[in-house]
Structures are given as structure tokens and as C-alpha cells.
Amino acid sequence: MSPSTPTRRSRLLTIYAALVFAFIYLPIVILILYSFNRDGVGGFPPRHFTFEWYRQLFADGPIWDSVLNSLIVAAGSVVLSLTLGLLAALALDRANFPGKALFRRLVLLPLILPGIITGLSLLMFAVVSGVQLSLFTVFLGHGTALISVATTELFAGLQKMDRAQEEASLDLGATPWQTFWRVTLPNLKLSLIAAGLLIFTLSMDEIAVTFFLIGRDNTLPLEIWGRLRRGITPEINAVSTLIFAVSVGLIVIWYRVRTRGLGADAQELLERP
Amino acid sequence: MYSRAYKTIVSLPPLLWVGVFLLLPYALMFAHSFWAVRDGTVVHQWNLNNYHTLFSKPVYLEVLLRTMRIAASVTLCSLLLGYPLAYYLSFHSGARKELLYQLVIVPLWVSYLVRGYAWKTILGSEGVLNGFLQYLHLTHEPVSFLLYSPFAVVLMLTHIYTPFVFLPIYAALEHIPRPLVEASQDLGAGSAQTFLRVIFPLSIPGLVAGATFAFVLSLGDFLAPLLVGGASSTMISNVVQSLFGAALDWPLGAAISVCIVIVIISLLFLTERLEKRWSFK
């Protein structure tokens, strides 16, 4: 092997990596670029810079109604899944009950199974129990499916927590209730924020489950979905660009709070007794 | 140290909630797969006819095979893109490592729909790519085979799942003790040999985890075929969707869903074992 081979090989590797990055980012860049293109979503090169599509977007009532619906559903889901996820994480960390192993796996199922399976199961449940589909069923669906994310994150937080603090609090005469509010919860603050942001983002973007639980009022992804079927305009590029910007903003916050991946946490949840 | 009351209070609500809103719906799906449909309504008559239909009509097996083919292509493409990227970041990116890592992660949390839509605008017959090709005078007629084909589905899903595949591989590569790599080089192995005999075997658990992610996630996808796939790339979940929608045969749709779940769970079980076997801890 000649001595120059490793450097040539590593240069090739660098070029390959750059191409993969291009593949990952090119569609997003093109999407953003064409949101400013007067002549529509296709063609090349994009000509005639315009804000027209953004102007149309801001005047578009149904889109903003759906944004509001999505925000309501996402906020509700955060509250529901954080509450139940916190309790579930505490239960898995501290209590022994029959069916614990089953419960641990069951909670994670919506994260593992395709959205269509969870969505259709919930649809059947709604139909059988005579509940009319609406934003409320979407909220129940998101809130329930995302308990998986909350439990995973909060369980990881609990595992890292120092139990001695809670013991000290109880020894010094605080009630379990006081200990929970003054010691346990403050210790979990970062995990709660991280899980909340993640749940919020996932709920805002959810389609597969929402698809089957939606009633008359659309969430934002479903509103966009409906429009895609009727033909595409750069207005969708414009709204996508805004969604992208908001996601990136939330991700930046998420990263400030948290550095470990969800996968590692899920692993931990499955492996601990 | 926690009282009985404390344990009850924390376990009971999630147990009840998950029991009612998750276990019950999944059980209902399972039960439906053994029921029948008459005049468009479900009758609770236990039988195995749905499963019999599935295995006797070739169309279902055909779609399942196509779905597996698409999922396997997505897995392979994501590995071909994700593995070298992870290897580059872990061993050759130097000081930019942290920044580049964040750059791979960001698209993970960017809307599925936004990314799918982007491909639609690129691949369409009046799309960006066709405009580009005509601008360069490479073609004069728009190339129409790009969109609404299995190719488009594979491309879109590869784009979405490459970061998913990257993550566990990168984690595995980062966990390889560097002295091991140095020892291999000190003992005279070339860089290719070091890669093949030290680095690659140690990264297999990550590779298996990544491949599983990509395969399982694409297997259940029904939105990509609707968005960029067209009729020629109907996947198994689209069949389920139409059985629950226009065709109004919930029991048969439920039976397919149960099969999908069985495939996924056994796959996860299998790969978990593989990962354990190949990990060196």
C-alpha cells in the first residue's frame, strides 16, 4: 500500500459525507427557496423573488384555524401525557405491581408500532364506544400515544436522581406529598421540560394517528395534507418554511435542556428491573 | 421507603388509563380480526376466514412482498448513506464533530410532511429537477417516471430515515475504545484492515439497531405511497387503510394489521438477540 492511499481515501470519505449532507439538506433548502418564487413550486432556476405567497398565507383563514387547533391539541397532549407519564415513571421506578413487565412494554407500543395501527385501534375504540370524532379524540389519541415519550424521558430522569434527598426530606418530617412537590418534582425539572418540548413537537407534526381520529376541524398537518390533494401552490412552501423555522427553534431549546437521545432512554427503561 | 398508599397513587391512574385507552383498543383490533362483516356491518361471529382470505388470495401476499422490498431498499440505502457518514464523523471529522452531529440530528425533528412535500415538488413532471434538467438541455420533454413510482417512495423514506440509521451506528462507533484502533495500527494493520477487522465488527450492534429502525418504520408507512408513490407502489398499510375506509371491511383490515404487528414484534425480538450476541460488553 502506498503511503498516500490513506489520505486519498479519507478525502474521498469527506466528499462522500458532504454529498450525504447535501442529500439531507437539499430538499429543505429547495423548499425554502421556492417559497419566495413568483412562478410557482417547480421549474428552474427560481426567478422573480416575491413575498406574495407569505402574504397569501397570512390572509389564509383556514390555515390559521388549523394552527390554532394544532396548538390546542399539542398543549392538551403535553399536559395529559406528562401527568400520566410522570406517574407511570414513578410507578415503574418505585412500585411493584402485577403485570409490571407487560405495562412497561405496553406503554412503549405506540412508539414502536406504525401510527396506522395505533390510529385504527383508537378509531375502532371510539366507534364502539359511540364517541364522535373531533379534536377531542385527536387529543386523547396524541396524549395517550405520547405517554410513551413522557415515561421514557422521566424514567431516565428518575434513575439519575439522588434518592438520599427524598429520604432526608421524609426523615426530617415532611409528608410524602410535600416531598413530592418540594424534592422529587424540582429534581425532574429538566426532564419535564425536555419531554414537554418533545411531546409538543411530535403532536404538532403527527399525521398517522390523527388521520383516523380527526373530525370536522383539521390540525395543521391534516389541513396541508388536504390541500396537497387539491394541487400545490408555493403557499404550502411558505407554511412549510415557517414550520421548519419553528421546529428548528424548538430543537435548539431542546438541545440546551437535554443531550441524550430518546433511544438510549427507551433502552434503559426496558432493561431496568 | 415509599408507603403503600404512595405506590397505589402513582401506579393506579397510568395503569387504568393505559388499560382503557391502549390495551382495550389494541385488543379490539385483535378481536376484529376474528369477526366477520355482513352488509357493511361487523358481526361478532368468531372465525378464521379473514386469515384464510389473506393467505389464499395472492394479491395480499404480493403487496406484502412489495412492501418488504421497499422497506428493504430503504434500509439498504439508508445504511449506505448513514454508515459512511457516521464513520466519517466518528473518526475523521476532527474539531467539527459536535457541529456536524447536530446538523445530522436537526432534520430528525423536522416535519415528516414537510420533507415529503419537498420531494413532491422536486420530482414532479413540472418539478424542480425536471426544470433543472431542461435548463441544462439534458432533456426537452419532462421526465415523468420520477414521481409516482416505488423509486420516489424509496427516495423519500431514505431521506427521512437516514438520520435514524445514523444515530445508533454513530453511538456504536463512538463507544469503540480508541486504544483498540491504535493497537491494531501499531501492530501493522493497514487502515482498511483495521476497519474490517476491528471497527466494523464492533459497530454491528449499532448497524443492526439502525437497520431495524429503518425497516420497521418504512414497513408501516402509508403516507409516502399516497404522497409520492401512486398506484404502482401501494404498500400493505394502504391496503389496511382502504379496507377501513372505502371498502368497509374492518375485520379483514384488522387481520392484516395483526399480521403487520406480528412481523414487527418478531423482527424486534430477533434483532434484539442479534444485537446482544454481537455486543462485546
Specify whether domain B49-278 bears CATH 3.40.605.10: no
ipTM for the predicted complex:
0.90
Q: Which residue of A has its CA nearest to B157?
A: A24
Tell me the chain A residues in contact with residue B74 when contact means C-beta distances shorter than 8 Å: none
Over residues A43-74, the pLDDT tens digits come to: 778 788 888 889 989 999 999 999 999 999 99
User: What's chain A's average pLDDT?
Assistant: 88
Residue A22 clears pLDDT 50, i.e. is over it: yes
Supply the pLDDT for residue A3.
Answer: 43
Using a CB–CB cutoff of 8 Å, tell me whether A136 touches chain B: no
Supply the pLDDT for residue B72.
Answer: 97
Supply the pLDDT for residue A258.
Answer: 64
Lowest mean pLDDT among A32-36, A253-257, B266-270: A253-257
Tell me the chain A residues in contact with residue B206 when contact means C-beta distances shorter than 8 Å: none
CB B2 to CB A176 under 8 A? yes
Q: Which residue of B has its CA nearest to A85?
A: B14
Using a CB–CB cutoff of 8 Å, tell me whether A39 touches chain B: no
Which residues does chain B have with pLDDT short of 50?
A: none
CB B1 to CB A224 under 8 A? no
Residue A114 clears pLDDT 70, i.e. is over it: yes
Give the pLDDT band of residue A194 (cuts 50, 70, 90). confident
Per-domain boundaries in chain A: 61-160+191-271
Give the pLDDT band of residue A97 (cuts 50, 70, 90). confident
CB proximity under 8 Å: A 161-220 to B:
163, 166-167, 170, 176, 201, 205, 207-208, 212
Distance in Å, alpha carbon of A144 to nearest chain B alpha carbon? 7
Per-domain boundaries in chain B: 49-278
Secondary structure of chain B in HEC code, one letter for each residue: CCCHHHHHHHHHHHHHHHHHHHHHHHHHHHHHCCCEEECCEEECCCCCHHHHHHHHCHHHHHHHHHHHHHHHHHHHHHHHHHHHHHHHHHHHCHHHHHHHHHHHHHHHHCCHHHHHHHHHHHHCCCCHHHHHHHHCCCCCCCCCCCCCCHHHHHHHHHHHHHHHHHHHHHHHHHCCCHHHHHHHHHCCCCHHHHHHHHHHHHHHHHHHHHHHHHHHHHHCCCHHHHHHHCHHHCCHHHHHHHHHCCCCCHHHHHHHHHHHHHHHHHHHHHHHHHHHHHCCC
Using a CB–CB cutoff of 8 Å, tell me whether A59 touches chain B: no
Is the pLDDT higher at A258 or at A228? A228
Over residues A130-152, the pLDDT tens digits come to: 999 999 999 999 999 999 999 99
Fold of the domain built from segment(s) A61-160+191-271: MetI-like fold (1.10.3720)
Supply the pLDDT for residue A261.
Answer: 61
Supply the pLDDT for residue A273.
Answer: 54
Is the pLDDT higher at A257 or at A4? A257
The residue-averaged pLDDT of A245-250 equals: 84
Give the pLDDT band of residue A4 (cuts 50, 70, 90). very low
Share of residues in chain B with pLDDT > 90 (%): 58
